[in-house]
Structure 1
Amino acid sequence: MWSGERLDLAGYLERIGHDGELRPDLATLRTVQRAHIAAVPFENLDVLLGRPVELDLASIEGKLVRGGRGGYCYEQNSLLAAALERIGFEVAGRGARNRTRGDALLPVTHAVLVVTVDGEPWLVDAGFGANGPTEPVPLRPGAEVTQGEWDFGVAEEDEGVLVLRTRRTGTEQWRDLYAFAAQRLYPVDFVLMNHWSSTHPSSFFTGRLVAMRPGSSRRLALVDRELVRWLPGGSEERSAVAPGELIALLDREFGIRLSDRDAAELVRILPAGD
């Protein structure tokens, strides 16, 4: 289903820095997801640069594995799905509705994975950017897990809709991240969602730079030229990024290395602000 048999598994494992034993068990699922998220940044630069986002495995490997770049949810989770399938996991896709942008009802455009281990389903997501989980989350209503400085929980709503929520560890207020139903999605569905997200003027990813990186204690988000850091203890820092600092910051903070041509084009098209 996810072209796992065609994946250069050795190349993928080198890219994410994983050298442990591989088995279709929960320990492997955790270490692979953690390593993937730590190594492969979330970013939409191809959309901003006016390039198509291709979801065939060869294109994803060329960009995220051999090219040292990152990508957004369809690329990230398609690559992770191929790797997990190759290792021997049962992997299914789901489509989720983002709930982090106020009260507006947004379309189902976020792609996530459900991985079954010993008969139990786990939510696995390497593509929700700064707010997403860094390890699997048990997919049962009422489940709660702590991942570094953040808690994640699963709630159930009408019609069997499941909601992934988060809060800062030690606080009381949960915040919805996204909601999804049990309907299974396939790679072809990711292609359709990807087309909307990469081309529609209402998409969050068209016309702006987005780069994000989750972590156990520090999380980063860059949207156009504003950098946000969520730090241990609950503090938050916001700062503007000058055009002359942008390329170095993408490399230093997100591990995104661009060619000279792409770097120059990115600086040219990104609004300089006041």
Structure 2
Amino acid sequence: MTLSDIANDYVDDLGLRPATLDLEFVQRLNRAHLTHYTFNSLSVVLAQEMPLDVTHLHNKIVTRRRGGYCFEHNKLALHVLSELGFDARLLLAKVVYNRDTDVPRTHRISLVTLDGDDYLLDVGFGPLGPRHPVKISTPEVQQQGNEQFRIVNVERGELGLQVYKDGDFFTLYTFNLHHYSEAECTPAHFYSHKSPDAAFVNNLVIAKKSDNQTESLRNGTWQRTDNGTVTEHTIASEEQLNTVMKEVFDLEIDLATAAFLFKKFVRPSLNQ
């Protein structure tokens, strides 16, 4: 497939025709991507190769429905937007989770400019990520379904993406508007899926998000948030893990793989 074919197939797969160069289309893309393709660490925890060429990403995410994490999801989405003619480019962010800490830029996001306004697009952050593009030029709260997001100035030219969580605004990550190259993603991507200290290396993480419902799994805990109501379940067996991965997250994983994941990531969490 050509790069143009990949973009067209992605658009068709998500039912995004007609593809017009406006904010409504980017909003539709954001929602549809999160609904159809899972955020997960499967390739990381199974020690699979994770090349970032667009052909591989399309095959993995769109054709095989295996999902991925930020360097995969957001690169594919950026490629599609660029092929369609949007003014969009790569940004890199620091995941801080509301801490005052200095960490490397290990999260990939996209900047989309429409009618003179800049928007943050992120289809690869997992259960806490935004469902719609977030306008950057305003500090006002932006309602997205039953969630609220805002972007605030942090310091030294850094901006922070915040979500309203547990009664207050919580900073997910910080970023700036510098121009980054694909080459700068290489060390961050390598760290994120190879370092023994990386969160994705040490945790089985899966998430899928629709308009008012979020499904997420982290090791032995499966959580569903439905219109703001949270229901939590404990994964008690490899068979249950296999069923949840198939029926909730649409991931076709054989029982042997589920057993391996249960033994390595779920069972230890049950004993904590």
Q: Paired residue for 2:7?
A: 9
Q: How many residues align?
A: 268
Given candidates 183, 187, 195, the residue that maps to 2:190 is: 195
User: Is 1:116 equivalent to 2:116 in the alignment?
Assistant: no
Look up the match of 1:88.
85
TM-score normalized with structure 2 length: 0.90
Specify the alignment match of 1:32 in structure 2. 29
2:230 maps to amino acid:
E
Shift of 1:102: 4.7
Residues 150 and 216 in structure 1, CA contact (< 8 A), matched pair in contact too: no
Question: What pairs up with 1:192-271 in 2 under 5 angstroms?
Answer: 192-232=187-227, 234-242=228-236, 243-259=238-254, 262-263=257-258, 265-267=260-262, 269-271=264-266
- Confirm or deny: 8 A CA contact 2:239 2:258 kept in the other structure: no
Provide the secondary structure at the position in 2 that maps to 1:64.
helix
Unaligned runs of 5+ in 2: none
Find the partner of 1:56 among 47, 53, 58: 53
Q: 1:156 to 1:21 in 2, by over 3 A?
A: same
2:44 is aligned, of 44, 47, 71, to: 47
Q: Supply the distance in 2 between the matched residues of 1:45 and 1:55 (Cα, whole angstroms).
A: 15
Task: Indicate conservation of the 8 Å contact 1:96/1:179, yes or no.
Answer: yes
Query: Match for 2:151 among 150, 154, 175?
Result: 154
TM-superposed CA distance for 1:185, in Å, is 1.7
CA contact (8 A) 1:163 1:178 kept: yes
Asked if structure 2 preserves the Cα contact closer than 8 Å seen for 1:63 and 1:69, the reply is yes
What is the Cα deviation at residue 172 of structure 1? 5.6
Name 2:163's counterpart in structure 1. 166
1:15 touches 1:39 (CA, 8 Å); kept in 2? no
Deviation at 1:104, TM superposition (A): 4.5
- Determine the C-alpha separation between the residues in 2 that align with 1:261 and 1:271: 14
Structure-1 separation of matches of 2:31 and 2:206: 18
Which stretch of the first structure deviates more once superposed, 128-137 or 262-271? 262-271
| Of 246-255 and 128-137, the range deviating more from structure 2 | 246-255
Judge conservation of contact 1:73–1:127 (CA < 8 Å) in 2: yes
Distance 2:114 2:98 in 1: 32
For the 8 Å contact 2:242–2:255, the answer to whether it is kept is no
| Contact kept in structure 2, 1:49 and 1:265, CA below 8 Å | no
Are 2:39 and 2:68, in contact at CA under 8 Å, matched by a contact in 1? Answer: yes
**Distance between the aligned counterparts of 2:5 and 2:102, measured in 1?**
37
CA RMSD after TM alignment? 2.2
Deviation of 1:261 (Å): 5.8
1:64 Cα shift? 0.5
Q: What percent of counterpart residues are identical?
A: 25
TM-score normalised to structure 1 length: 0.89
SS of structure 1 residue aligned to 2:179: coil
- Cα distance in 1, alignment partners of residues 120 and 16 from structure 2: 23
Distance 2:137 2:252 in 1: 39
1:33 Cα deviation from its structure 2 partner? 1.3
- In 2, Cα distance between the equivalents of 1:8 and 1:94? 22
Partner Cα separation in structure 2 for residue 139 and residue 229 of structure 1: 29
Say if 1:141 and 1:162, in contact at 8 Å, map to a contact too: no
Q: Is the 8 A contact 1:7 1:83 kept in 2?
A: no
Question: What SS does structure 2 have at the residue aligned with 1:108?
Answer: coil
Q: Secondary structure at the match of 1:52?
A: coil
Aligned partners of 1:218 and 1:230 also within 8 Å = yes
One-letter amino acid of the counterpart of residue 37, structure 2: V
| Partner residue, 1:178 | 173
The Cα of 1:10 is off from its aligned counterpart by: 3.4
Q: Distance in 1 between matches of 2:35 and 2:258?
A: 23
Q: Is residue 145–residue 153 contact of structure 1 (8 Å, CA) maintained in 2?
A: yes
